[in-house]
Structure 1
């Protein structure tokens, strides 16, 4: 079982600060990470994803929530990024996701919105970053980031 080795708390007053926190997360990525985003509707999960992906050399304007397509793939300058949105999915065994296949690409970065919907994520060999976002609308955000090796 992996240990959570680091936890950070951030307060983001504006959407721009949430975006910049995504950029900061991206600066620590080396490939092989799974970033699990949780938070309510409008919390800023996709905005944070835009920050991460833009820092990796992909056009942030091409990043959108895959709520209906379930998965978007961004071919960044560093590695492939899989952007998964589980909002409409009933459980981790939903075959439409193809999550197990995505997780087999161990050099990629996988970003999962609504990650709390998955109880047993098969990622024992991957580094995990858990991001919990509290707040929505015009409220400031409290963002907790935990990492495991």
Structure 2
């Protein structure tokens, strides 16, 4: 009698259980690393925006208004106050989105009082004004991505 080779149902179930246990250990660590990487990208982007805003201020003698927004770093504003001195190539090549594919927000004057303006990401939930916002007022101690659950 010829015997076929293959795996028994028990062997397959053991392998699935082992893979499930490994996934249970690895996935939380990978997700935590992803959250940290996303936060670091936001911090880096905010620092780049602040650097460009400082250069803009040195030329224009004021910061863009909330209405002009961060677009003023890429193209010369057409609404008042229009800067008399503006770099021909702007102050940034293009505006970046945050890691959750939302635009960065800009508000002047600042609601947080530490600078003349606020630059922030709305965080993973994509809604500005919630506890997971990462802004120039809290880049040194950004909120946890699950701040609502803390």
TM-score w.r.t. length of structure 1: 0.23
- Relative contact order higher in (CA < 8 Å, ≥ 6 apart): 1
Q: What TM-score, normalized by structure 2, do the two folds share?
A: 0.23
